[in-house]
Amino acid sequence: MFKKFFGLFSKDIGIDLGTTNVRVYIRGRGMVISESSVVAINLRNDQIIAIGTNALKMMGKAPSYISIIEPLSHGVISDFEVTEKMLKSIFEKVHRDTFTLIPRPKVVAAIPLDVTEVEKKSLEDVIIQAGAREVFLVERPVAAAIGVRLPIQESIGNLIVELGGGLSEAAVISLNGIVASKSLKIGGESLNKNIISYIREKFGVLIGNQTAEEIKVKIGSVFGNKNQEMRVKGRDLIKGLPKEVLINEIQIREAIMPLLKTIVEGIHETIEATPPELVSDIYERGIVLSGGGAMLRGLDKMIQKRINIPVLVTDDPATAIIRGTGLVLEDFENLRQVFVPSSRD
Ligand SMILES: Nc1ncnc2c1ncn2[C@@H]1O[C@H](COP(=O)(O)OP(=O)(O)O)[C@@H](O)[C@H]1O
Ligand SMILES: [Mg+2]
């Protein structure tokens, strides 16, 4: 009786602490926060000035007393204190918005495959210190598969490829567990870095990360041929002055293709490590792409052509993981088999 009452008012939370974006889900309400994983800190008093998009806007433009920090790298915490500050500020916002009287939520959080015990503990600790009562961890591709409603509880081979900002993870899931997988520390941010190096080498012009992101989203592709062009502004490395260059789709493809080939190889290896019965399911049912990186134009067709299995990009791919943590909260008892053992046990 009391438990039921408590359940009605407690605000259980799902968290996707991604390399590029942090997302928060509140049970019964849905996704309430989707922000860039960036924090602006005032070094004079160590206080947060801004998080998310507002902090991102300051990047490359802030005076020396403001530090712009991306506290996650390839899906794991690289700056514990800043991650804690960011989560605390997010939790406070959630409390303000929901007027909840019970301040310590139960949290389901997504975690990369292949993390070390130290990395896992660090994620659990940061969430507890930010105010959670209890933390349950789900591997990112499993959360994504739940989010896109693949039948992971059945004895069927489900192949999902989750393409985030700092990680690309392929996993075959059956009966609530991972049968074969591959985790690569390559993601959307690596594509941006390749675009930056390419433009520096080819044109002698230095561009910033946000410009690289814009180029990738506007004219980036890996299949088909529209040959779009785009004018890009950067700094001439020799003269030190602003310079505009005209770049095209083929050049950007040349810059990013090696990374995508590595991802395709990773998918290939995952399938090779999968038992034959499940492989035949995958041939029939296809490969599902999720994560923001799945929006790269032509990626589905490129993978389909190289692996020879149908490929489907899920709707709203970037929110697959957070929707998955949400579904786990809503159907907690039924889905609790998907949790990975805690480092606290
Ligand atoms: N249209 C697009 N084409 C290619 N990449 C995209 C597109 N939209 C978003 N992305 C990339 O998706 C990544 C963010 O995806 P997301 O799933 O939110 O990452 P994470 O969960 O790792 O923080 C970024 O690297 C971003 O550049
Ligand atoms: Mg993501």
How does pLDDT run across 56-93, given as a tens digit for each residue?
999 888 999 999 999 999 999 999 999 999 999 888 88
Q: Lowest mean pLDDT: which of 58-72, 93-107, 196-210, 327-341?
A: 93-107
Q: Is the pLDDT score of 253 beyond 50?
A: yes
Query: Whole-number mean pLDDT of the chain?
Result: 93
Distance from Cα 107 to the centre of ligand 1, integer Å: 24
Distance from Cα 113 to the centre of ligand 2, integer Å: 14
318 Cα nearest atom in ligand 1? 17
Ligand 1 pocket test: pick from 16, 17, 20 the residue with the most ligand atoms within 8 Å of its Cβ. Answer: 20
Q: What is the pTM of this model?
A: 0.95
Rounded percentage of the chain residues whose pLDDT exceeds 70: 95
Distance from Cα 97 to the centre of ligand 2, integer Å: 24
Confidence of residue 3 (pLDDT cuts 50, 70, 90): very low
The protein residue with its alpha carbon nearest to ligand 1, atom 27, reads 188
Q: Is the pLDDT score of 102 beyond 80?
A: no
Q: Is the pLDDT score of 133 beyond 70?
A: yes
Ligand that comes closest to the CA of residue 17: 1
Predicted local confidence at residue 90, as pLDDT: 86
The protein residue with its alpha carbon nearest to ligand 1, atom 12, reads 292
Predicted local confidence at residue 103, as pLDDT: 66
Confidence of residue 99 (pLDDT cuts 50, 70, 90): low
HSE (side-chain half, CA atoms, 13 Å) at 121: 6
Distance from Cα 317 to the centre of ligand 2, integer Å: 8
Confidence of residue 6 (pLDDT cuts 50, 70, 90): very low
Q: pLDDT (tens digit, 9 = 90+) per residue, 314-323?
A: 999 999 999 9
Closest CA to 140 of 107, 121, 114: 114
Predicted local confidence at residue 5, as pLDDT: 43
Which residues are registered as beta bridge partners of 288?
160, 312
The superfamily (CATH) of domain 197-255 is: ATPase, substrate binding domain, subdomain 4 (3.90.640.10)
Instruction: Confirm if 289 and 314 have CB atoms less than 8 A apart.
Output: yes
Same fold, 2-38+73-143+320-338 and 197-255: no
189 Cα nearest atom in ligand 1? 25
The protein residue with its alpha carbon nearest to ligand 1, atom 21, reads 18
Task: Reply yes or no on domain 2-38+73-143+320-338 having CATH 3.40.50.2300.
Answer: no
In whole angstroms, give the CA distance from residue 342 to residue 115.
12
- Rounded to 5 degrees, φ, ψ at 217 are -70, -40
Distance from Cα 18 to the centre of ligand 2, integer Å: 6
Q: Which residues line ligand 1 (CB under 6 A)?
A: 16, 18-21, 164-166, 187-189, 213, 216-217, 220, 291-293, 295-296, 318
Distance from Cα 236 to the centre of ligand 2, integer Å: 34
Q: Lowest mean pLDDT: which of 41-50, 85-94, 157-166, 332-341?
A: 85-94
Instruction: Confirm if 34 and 117 have CB atoms less than 8 A apart.
Output: no
Hey, CA dihedral for 210, 214, 215, 220, is it positive or negative? Answer: positive
Q: Give the DSSP letter string of 54-119.
A: HHHHHTTT--TTEEEE--EETTEES-HHHHHHHHHHHHHHHHHHHT-S----EEEEEE-TT--HHH
Distance from Cα 314 to the centre of ligand 1, integer Å: 14
Q: Is the pLDDT score of 225 beyond 90?
A: no
The protein residue with its alpha carbon nearest to ligand 1, atom 3, reads 296
The protein residue with its alpha carbon nearest to ligand 1, atom 6, reads 293
In whole angstroms, give the CA distance from residue 249 to residue 228.
5
The protein residue with its alpha carbon nearest to ligand 1, atom 15, reads 292
Predicted local confidence at residue 4, as pLDDT: 44
Q: Give the 3-state secondary structure of residue 43.
A: coil
Confidence of residue 306 (pLDDT cuts 50, 70, 90): very high
Q: Which residue has the higher pLDDT, 289 or 226?
A: 289
Could you give the angle at the alpha carbon of 49 between the alpha carbons of 46 and 53, nearest 5°?
135
CATH topology of domain 159-186+256-317: Nucleotidyltransferase; domain 5 (3.30.420)
Predicted local confidence at residue 2, as pLDDT: 44
Confidence of residue 96 (pLDDT cuts 50, 70, 90): confident
Exposure string of 268-298, with b = 16+ CB inside 10 Å and e = fewer, is: eebbeebeeebbebbeebbbbbbbbbbbbbb
Using DSSP bridges, classify how beta strands 168-174 and 177-184 pair: parallel, antiparallel or unpaired: antiparallel
317 Cα nearest atom in ligand 1? 17
Boundaries of every domain in the chain: 2-38+73-143+320-338, 159-186+256-317, 197-255
